[in-house]
C-alpha cells in the first residue's frame, strides 16, 4: 500500500500549496512524497488518527463552550 502526501518540508512547495486555487490542472506543480514502507505508514496512520482525535476534542470543546454561552445569555 502506498500513500502520497504533499511535501511540507520544502518552503517552495508550501508556498505553491498556499497559493493553489484548487485547479486540478495545476496539481502537477505540487511535489508529493510517496510513503510505502509499512513502518512509516503505521506511524503516519497513528499521527493522522491522533490529529483527528485532537481535532474532534477541540471541536467538541468549542461546541460545548458555544452552547454554554447560549445557555448563559439566554437566562
pLDDT at residue number 72: 47
pLDDT at residue number 57: 52
Q: Model's pTM, two decimal places? A: 0.43
Q: Which three cell numbers mark 50?
A: 491522533
pLDDT at residue number 55: 63
DSSP state of 23: -
In the chain, which ranges are E strands? 3-6, 32-35
Q: How confident is the model at residue 67 (pLDDT cuts 50, 70, 90)?
A: very low
pLDDT at residue number 68: 46
Q: Which three cell numbers mark 43?
A: 506511524
Q: How confident is the model at residue 71 (pLDDT cuts 50, 70, 90)?
A: very low
Amino acid at each position: 500500500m502506498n500513500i502520497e502526501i504533499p511535501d511540507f518540508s520544502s518552503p517552495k512547495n508550501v508556498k505553491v500549496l498556499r497559493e493553489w486555487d484548487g485547479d486540478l490542472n495545476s496539481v502537477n506543480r505540487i511535489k508529493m512524497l510517496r510513503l510505502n514502507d509499512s513502518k512509516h505508514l503505521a506511524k503516519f496512520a497513528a499521527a493522522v488518527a491522533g490529529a483527528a482525535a485532537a481535532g474532534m476534542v477541540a471541536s467538541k470543546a468549542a461546541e460545548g463552550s458555544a452552547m454554554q454561552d447560549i445557555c448563559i445569555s439566554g437566562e
